[in-house]
Amino acid sequence: NSWMVLYTHEFGNNPQHDKEFQSFIDMFDGIIMWTWEEKDVPLIPEKFEKFKEMTKNNRRMFGCYLYNFGENKKATGEAVKWQLDWYREKILSGEAEGVVLHTNTMADLDHEAYDVACAWLEEHGEEEVPDI
């Protein structure tokens, strides 16, 4: 299987650009939706609706950064937890297969986002999800 990363700032802004980009999306088995800057996390529900339209024939996953690379600062625990909770709802409803967490290199840095993600996984990591 081949997967592609698609950032929320790359689609849903210009219908012509989305149409032109569609042929690239169609070449992949799966697409992973990521948000590069934490300030854009509130846009995820709106962006996901467009993402679903553009990935009707693809498998879908979400990406969740544990460091805010786009703004070059620590991710907040609040934003990480919100994303994981929202992604969980979509996974349980069968709209996506899972979530990719990035980055494991933070394990020893005592960042709140990493601790929040670990606690979330402890609580939800063993839940059964629907077959897609």
Predicted confidence (pLDDT) per residue in 48-100, tens digit: 999 999 999 999 999 999 999 999 999 999 999 999 999 999 999 999 999 99
- AA letter at 13: N
Confidence of residue 105 (pLDDT cuts 50, 70, 90): low
With 70 as the cut, is the pLDDT of residue 106 above it? no
With 80 as the cut, is the pLDDT of residue 12 above it? yes
Helical segments of 27-111, H only: 44-54, 77-92
Instruction: Return d(Cα 97, Cα 85) in angstroms, integer.
Output: 14
